[in-house]
């Protein structure tokens, strides 16, 4: 039941565009005591169907910038390959701490960032 609740919350957060990994990865490592590498792998696998639904929804709502998308896709693939290779050389403990640091700085950014609303 706990895994179901974690998955639902992660899916809701993903659907909002925040990124379900911010909930799923810490929940899997802290609550279910999974290895960081395993938790991140589960997050990536669960991301595929969620992202597919999001792409279809955003396509229907005409929210996709097709001029910018190819650059982001290519850069993202390069980054994903580099990150996967790099993380395979790290211990789970180091990877967990780097992920926590990333979440911390993203949280600070989200709290302090001000964008003029139109």
* pLDDT 10s digits, 44-87: 898 888 888 888 988 999 999 999 999 999 999 999 999 989 99
Distance from C-alpha of 66 to C-alpha of 63, rounded to nearest angstrom? 9
Distance from C-alpha of 51 to C-alpha of 17, rounded to nearest angstrom? 10
- pTM to 2 decimal places: 0.71
Closest CA to 37 of 79, 99, 81: 99
Distance from C-alpha of 33 to C-alpha of 30, rounded to nearest angstrom? 5
Determine the pLDDT at residue 116: 64
Residue 23 pLDDT exceeds 90: no
Determine the pLDDT at residue 76: 92
Residue 117 pLDDT exceeds 60: no
Distance from C-alpha of 80 to C-alpha of 82, rounded to nearest angstrom? 5
Band of pLDDT at residue 10, cut at 50, 70 and 90: confident
More confident residue, 17 or 37: 37
């Amino acid at each position: 039941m706990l895994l179901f609740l974690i998955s639902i919350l992660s899916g809701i957060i993903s659907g909002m565009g925040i990124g379900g990994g911010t909930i799923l990865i810490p929940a899997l490592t802290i609550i279910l005591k999974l290895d960081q590498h395993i938790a991140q792998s589960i997050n990536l696998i669960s991301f595929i169907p969620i992202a597919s639904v999001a792409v279809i929804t955003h396509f229907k709502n005409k929210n996709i910038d097709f001029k910018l998308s190819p650059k982001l896709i290519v850069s993202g693939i390069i980054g994903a390959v580099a990150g996967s290779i790099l993380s395979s050389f790290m211990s789970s403990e180091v990877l967990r701490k780097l992920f926590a640091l990333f979440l911390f700085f993203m949280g600070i950014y989200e709290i302090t960032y001000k964008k003029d609303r139109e």
